[in-house]
Amino acid sequence: MQSANQTTGPSKNKLWAGRVLSALPVLMLLFSGVMKLFKPPAVLQGFAHYGYQESFIVVIAVLELSCTVIYAIPRTAVLGAILITGYLGGATASNVRVGDPSSFVTITLGILVWAGLYLRDQGVRALIPLRKLASPIR
Specify if 134 maps to a domain: no
In a domain, 73, yes or no: yes
Domain assignment present for 17: no
pLDDT at residue 131 above 90? no
Q: Is residue 19 part of a domain?
A: no
Q: Is 116 domain-assigned? A: yes
pLDDT digits (tens, 9 = 90+) for 36-60: 999 999 999 999 999 999 999 999 9
Higher pLDDT, 27 or 7: 27
pLDDT in tens, 61-93: 999 999 999 999 999 999 999 999 999 999 999
Q: What is the pLDDT of residue 10?
A: 78
CA–CA distance from 123 to each of 66, 100, 120 (Å)? Answer: 23, 36, 9
- Evaluated on CA atoms 39, 45, 46, 51, the torsion sign reads positive
pTM of the shown model: 0.86
| Domain contains 48 | yes
Give me the percent of the chain exceeding a pLDDT of 90: 83
Q: Is residue 9 very low, low, confident or very high in pLDDT (cuts 50, 70, 90)?
A: confident
3-class secondary structure, 82: helix
Q: What range defines the domain where residue 98 resides?
A: 28-125
For position 30, what pLDDT does the model report?
Answer: 98
Chain Cα centroid distance, residue 62: 16
Residue 3 in any domain: the answer is: no
Q: Which residues contact 22 (CB under 8 A, 6 or more apart)?
A: 71, 72, 77, 112, 113, 116, 117, 120
How many domains does the chain contain in total?
Answer: 1
137 domain-assigned: no
Give yes or no for residue 98 having a pLDDT over 50: yes
Rounded to whole angstroms, the maximal C-alpha distance in the chain is: 65
Nearest of 54, 55, 80, 52 to residue 66 by alpha carbon: 80
Q: Mean pLDDT over residues 119-124, rounded?
A: 94
